[in-house]
Structure 1
Amino acid sequence: MPNLSIPLSQTKIIVPKRRDEILTRARLLELLNKLLDKRLILISAPAGYGKTSLLIDYANHAEMPLCWLSLDALDQDPQRFVAYLIAAIAHVFPKFGRQSTAALSNITSLEDDIERLIVTLVNEIYERVSEHFILVLDDYQFVNDTPAIRDFVNRFAQLVGENCHLILSSRKVVSLPDAILMIARDQVGGLGPLELAFEAEEIQALFEQNYHQHISAVTAEELVQQTEGWITGLQLSNPSMAKGISDRLRAARAAGVELFDYLSQEVLDQQPPEMRAFLLRTSLLDEFDADLCEAVLSPLTPDQPNDWKQMIASVRLNNLFVLPVGPNGKWLRYHHLFQDFLNVRIREEHPELVEPILLRLAQVHEQNGDLEKSYHAYQQLADINALADLVERAGTTLLYNDRLITLSNWLDYLPEELIRTRPVLLSLRGAVAVVKGKVQSGLSLLDQAEAAFQSTGDVT
Structure 2
Amino acid sequence: MTIPIISTKLYMPPPRSNVVIRPRLSERLNEGLHRKLTLISASAGFGKTTLVSEWLAGCGQPAAWLSLDEGDNDPTRFLTYLVAALQTIAANIGKGVFAVLQSPLSPPTETILTVLLNEINTIPDHFTLVLDDYHVIETKSIDDVLTFLLEHLPPRMHLVITTREDPSIPLARLRVRGELTELRSTDLRFTPSEAAGFLNQAMGLNLSPVDIALLESRTEGWIAGLQLVAISLQGHKDATSFIKSFNGNHHFVLDYLVEEVLQQQSESVHAFLLCTSILDRLCGSLADAVLLDPSTSGLETLAYLERANLFIVSLDNDRHWYRYHHLFADLLRQRLHQATASSKGDEGRGVAELHKRASIWYENHDLEIEAFHHAAVANDVDRATRLIEGKGMPLHFRGAAAPVLNWLESLQTAVLDARPSLWVAYASALVFAGKLNGVEQKLRAAEAALQGAELNDKTRDHVGHIALIRATLAVSQHQVETIITQSRRALEYLHTDNLPVRTATIWTLGYAYHLQGDRAAASQAYTEAIGISQAIGHNIITIMATIGLGNLQEADNQLDLAVDTYRLVLQLAGDPPLPVACEAHLGLARISYERNEMDAALQHGQQSAQLARQIENTDRFISCEVVLARLKLAQGDVADAAASLAKTSQLVRQHNFRHQMPEVAATQVLVLLRQGNLAAAAQLAQTHELPGSLARVHLAQGDTAAALAVLEPMRRQAEAKGWEDARLKVIVLQAVALHEHGDMDRAVQLLGEALLLAEPGGFIRIFVDEGIRMVGLLSEAAAHGRMPDYISKLLAECESGLRPAPPAKTLIAPLSERELTVLQLIAQGLSNREISERLFLALSSVKGHNQNIFGKLQVQRRTEAVARARELGLL
Normalising by structure 1, report the TM-score. 0.87
**When you count strand as a share of all residues, which structure comes out higher?**
1
Q: d(CA) in 1 for partners of 2:204 and 2:436?
A: 70
Deviation string for 1:333-354 (max 9, x for gaps)?
2111221222122222234542
The within-5 A match list for 1:287-306 is 287-298=281-292, 301=293, 304-306=294-296
Q: d(CA) in 2 for partners of 1:15 and 1:256?
A: 28
For 2:75, the aligned partner's letter is P
Name the counterpart of 2:274.
280
Q: d(CA) in 1 for partners of 2:337 and 2:374?
A: 15
Name the counterpart of 1:125.
120
Q: d(CA) in 2 for partners of 1:40 and 1:14?
A: 21
Give the superposition deviation at 1:375. Answer: 2.9
Asked if 1:423 corresponds to 2:420, the answer is: yes
Give the superposition deviation at 1:441. Answer: 5.1
Deviation string for 1:107-156 (max 9, x for gaps)?
547xx7121122122122123x222111111111100x211211111211
Indicate which of 289, 309, 334 corresponds to 2:324.
334
Give the superposition deviation at 1:312. Answer: 2.2
Larger Rg: 1 or 2?
2
Change (3 A) 1:124 1:286: same
For 1:187, the aligned partner's letter is E
Q: d(CA) in 2 for partners of 1:243 and 1:195?
A: 33
Q: d(CA) in 1 for partners of 2:251 and 2:33?
A: 41
Counterpart contact for 1:11–1:325, Cα < 8 Å: yes
| 3-state SS in 1 of match to 2:178 | coil
Indicate which of 121, 140, 149 corresponds to 1:147.
140
Deviation string for 1:278-298 (max 9, x for gaps)?
222222233222211233322
Indicate which of 6, 9, 21 corresponds to 1:9.
6
Q: d(CA) in 1 for partners of 2:352 and 2:388?
A: 19
Give the total of aligned pairs: 448
Name the counterpart of 1:365.
362
Q: d(CA) in 1 for partners of 2:284 and 2:13?
A: 18
Counterpart contact for 1:52–1:138, Cα < 8 Å: yes
Name the counterpart of 1:377.
374
Change (3 A) 1:162 1:410: farther
For 1:188, the aligned partner's letter is L
Higher relative contact order (CA 8 A, sep 6+): 1
Deviation string for 1:275-318 (max 9, x for gaps)?
222222222233222211233322xx4xx433333222222222
Q: d(CA) in 1 for partners of 2:84 and 2:435?
A: 31
Counterpart contact for 2:41–2:162, Cα < 8 Å: yes
Change (3 A) 1:402 1:257: closer
Change (3 A) 1:261 1:105: closer
Give the superposition deviation at 1:94. Answer: 0.9
Change (3 A) 1:158 1:387: same
Name the counterpart of 1:181.
173
Q: d(CA) in 1 for partners of 2:241 and 2:221?
A: 16
- Which ranges in structure 1 are unaligned for 5 or more consecutive residues? none
Give the superposition deviation at 1:401. Answer: 2.8
Name the counterpart of 1:166.
159
Name the counterpart of 2:698.
none
| 3-state SS in 1 of match to 2:65 | strand
- Structure 1 vs Structure 2 CA RMSD: 2.9
Asked if 1:325 corresponds to 2:315, the answer is: yes
Name the counterpart of 1:348.
338
The within-5 A match list for 1:35-74 is 35-74=32-71
Deviation string for 1:348-378 (max 9, x for gaps)?
2234542322211112212322233223323
Change (3 A) 1:269 1:62: same
Q: d(CA) in 2 for partners of 1:376 and 1:433?
A: 19
- With 317-326 and 217-226 compared, the bigger mean Cα shift is at 217-226
Counterpart contact for 2:355–2:378, Cα < 8 Å: yes
Counterpart contact for 1:11–1:327, Cα < 8 Å: no
For 2:271, the aligned partner's letter is A
The within-5 A match list for 1:70-89 is 70-89=67-86
Asked if 1:196 corresponds to 2:188, the answer is: yes
Change (3 A) 1:257 1:449: closer
- Which ranges in structure 2 are unaligned for 5 or more consecutive residues? 345-349, 462-875
**When you count helix as a share of all residues, which structure comes out higher?**
2
Q: d(CA) in 2 for partners of 1:257 and 1:405?
A: 35
| 3-state SS in 2 of match to 1:316 | helix
Name the counterpart of 2:641.
none
Give the superposition deviation at 1:186. Answer: 1.6
Give the superposition deviation at 1:440. Answer: 6.6
For 2:22, the aligned partner's letter is R
Change (3 A) 1:149 1:36: same
Give the superposition deviation at 1:424. Answer: 2.3
Asked if 1:29 corresponds to 2:22, the answer is: no
Change (3 A) 1:234 1:122: same
| 3-state SS in 1 of match to 2:276 | helix
Q: d(CA) in 2 for partners of 1:256 and 1:55?
A: 23
Change (3 A) 1:163 1:271: same
- With 208-217 and 21-30 compared, the bigger mean Cα shift is at 208-217
Give the superposition deviation at 1:187. Answer: 1.4
For 2:152, the aligned partner's letter is L
Asked if 1:314 corresponds to 2:309, the answer is: no
Give the superposition deviation at 1:447. Answer: 6.2
Counterpart contact for 2:388–2:395, Cα < 8 Å: no
Name the counterpart of 1:113.
108
Counterpart contact for 1:197–1:231, Cα < 8 Å: yes
Name the counterpart of 1:391.
388
Deviation string for 1:39-87 (max 9, x for gaps)?
1111110101111111121121122111001111121222111111111
Give the superposition deviation at 1:220. Answer: 3.8
Give the superposition deviation at 1:439. Answer: 5.2
Asked if 1:230 corresponds to 2:218, the answer is: no
Q: d(CA) in 1 for partners of 2:4 and 2:404?
A: 15
Q: d(CA) in 1 for partners of 2:439 and 2:9?
A: 36
| 3-state SS in 1 of match to 2:128 | strand
Change (3 A) 1:272 1:429: closer
| 3-state SS in 1 of match to 2:66 | strand
Q: d(CA) in 1 for partners of 2:175 and 2:413?
A: 43
Give the superposition deviation at 1:382. Answer: 4.3
Give the superposition deviation at 1:425. Answer: 2.7
